[in-house]
Amino acid sequence: MAKKVLKFGGTSVGSIDRIIRVSKLIQDETKKGNKLVVIVSAMSGKTDELLSLSKSISKDFSDRELDVLVTSGEQVTASLLAGALNKLGIKSRSLMSWQIPILTEGKHNNSRIINMSTDKINEYLNNGEIVIIPGFQGISKIGDLTSIGRGGSDATAVAVAKLLNTDSCEIYTDVDGVYSSDPNKIPVAKKIDKISYEEMLELSSLGAKVMQSSAVQTAMMYSIPLHVKSTFTNREGTKIFTEKNIDYSKVVTGVAYSKNDAKITLLGVQDKPGIAAEIFEPLGNARINVDMVIQNVSSDSKTTDLTFTVKREDLEESLNIIKNNKKVHVKELSHRTNLSKVSIVGAGMVTTPGVTYKMFRALADEKINILAISTSEIKISVILEEKDTLKAVKKLHNIFELD
């Protein structure tokens, strides 16, 4: 007998038929004698719909009320699934985050789970019940509902697995596992059987939304193995765990992309010590994450040009901060949003020279212009024009032998 966390994403619980299907999958698990805690997302599309409802009331809808609203989708699916299990004759109950409670800290709309009481859950499990918990939802120290960031049901699953010390954490979704690239966009993408936390963390931070990156980070920190698999097929799925269990026959494991970036260019900035700090300090204070930075060599030793990227949602605030920064004089400030970031990720890169060259050559062969570059030990990211995204992903997928 094992104690397991099973998490079902939005598509998996996206209709009554699908919820019934999930209830049967859970029934099979109970027949094996397992104790189950189930985490559910809202029906697919629901969270976006709730967000847009708030915008139709006001674009300054309060953060507190927004969390009450957006976390309601998970309440609906938790109760429907418990009802579907009851109909099969299986004892089950939903427990909202405030009933458990699941405690979070941080800002509304982007909180973080810090603790959870396990007493009630263990009591119900010992009584042979299946406990259904809404993902994405928590409560703050003062008892307000909070949400933990988009895709956050993954993070709920990992946190619950850790705090309940379960034997496994299974993430059921609408694809068979983690692929070498998004299988819905790159049909030749291949399923990966095993992947390290580090690679998965890079892939998900760089756009592979199959796992939420903060969930992977928590799993890595506490060595919680994850198993990503499909609600709709019986294929084996993908295991995410520590690196030593993995054989790297390929240099690159996956290609990810996102359309979340914006580029800011400062032309004619004074070229003197401390100027970069003056520019980036107020951005840091505003909690704006600067990703890639490029500074040109000064041609006249007096001024230089500086380009950097931020998340699109931070663009307006970043521009305002720079315009209002009295310590920095800029001849011209420009920005672009119709960009994408394409990245190759692979632990095999550490020991293989020439990967950067191979990537740049492949993009050049496709006449794709690179606007910015950043690298780490196991990834290379480039900023491109948005229109070139899929062409670049397909080419890189092909030349790194992932097709």
Which residues form the interface with ligand ADP (CB under 6 A)? 9-12, 41, 151, 173-175, 178-179, 181-184, 208-210, 254
Distance from C-alpha of 73 to C-alpha of 76, rounded to nearest angstrom: 5
The nearest distance, CB 154 to Mg ion, in angstroms, is 6
Residue (9 or 348) nearer to Mg ion, CB? 9
The nearest distance, CB 204 to ligand ADP, in angstroms, is 8
The nearest distance, CB 152 to ligand ASP, in angstroms, is 5
User: Exposure string (b/e) for 17-48, b if CB count within 10 Å is 16 or more?
Assistant: ebbebbbeebeebbeeebbbbbbbbbbbebbe
Q: Is 364 exposed, middle or buried (0-12, 13-18, 19+ CB in 10 A)?
A: exposed
Q: Which residues pair with residue 345 across a beta bridge?
A: 254, 379
Residue (156 or 166) nearer to ligand ASP, CB? 156
The nearest distance, CB 230 to ligand ASP, in angstroms, is 16
The nearest distance, CB 137 to ligand ASP, in angstroms, is 9
**Contact yes or no for 54/91 (Cβ under 8 A):** no
Give the H or E element holding residue 213. helix 213-221
In 106-235, beta strands by DSSP E: 112-116, 130-134, 137-139, 145-147, 168-173, 194-196, 226-230
Binding pattern for the stretch 4-33 against Mg ion, x by CB under 5 A and - elsewhere: -----x------------------------
Residue 150's binding partner, choosing from ligand ASP, ligand ADP, Mg ion, none, with beta-carbon cut-off 5 to 8 A by kind? ligand ASP
Binding pattern for the stretch 140-169 against Mg ion, x by CB under 5 A and - elsewhere: -----------x------------------
Residue 47's binding partner, choosing from ligand ADP, ligand ASP, Mg ion, none, with beta-carbon cut-off 5 to 8 A by kind? ligand ASP
Tokens of 293: 């930075």
Amino acid found at 21: R
Distance from C-alpha of 218 to C-alpha of 399, rounded to nearest angstrom: 33
Which residues are at the interface with ligand ASP (CB under 6 A)? 9-10, 41-42, 47, 73, 135-136, 150-154
Residue 174's binding partner, choosing from ligand ASP, Mg ion, ligand ADP, none, with beta-carbon cut-off 5 to 8 A by kind? ligand ADP
Amino acid found at 88: L
Q: Using the rule CB under 5 A, is 237 a contact of Mg ion?
A: no
Residue 220's binding partner, choosing from ligand ADP, Mg ion, ligand ASP, none, with beta-carbon cut-off 5 to 8 A by kind? none
The secondary structure of 67-120 as a DSSP string is HHHHTHHHHHHHHHHHHHHHHTT--EEE--TTTTTEEEESSTTS-EEEEE--HH
Please state the φ and ψ torsions of residue 237, each to the nearest 5 degrees: 85, -165
The nearest distance, CB 334 to Mg ion, in angstroms, is 35
Residue (152 or 348) nearer to ligand ASP, CB? 152
Footprint of Mg ion on this chain (CB under 5 A)?
9, 151
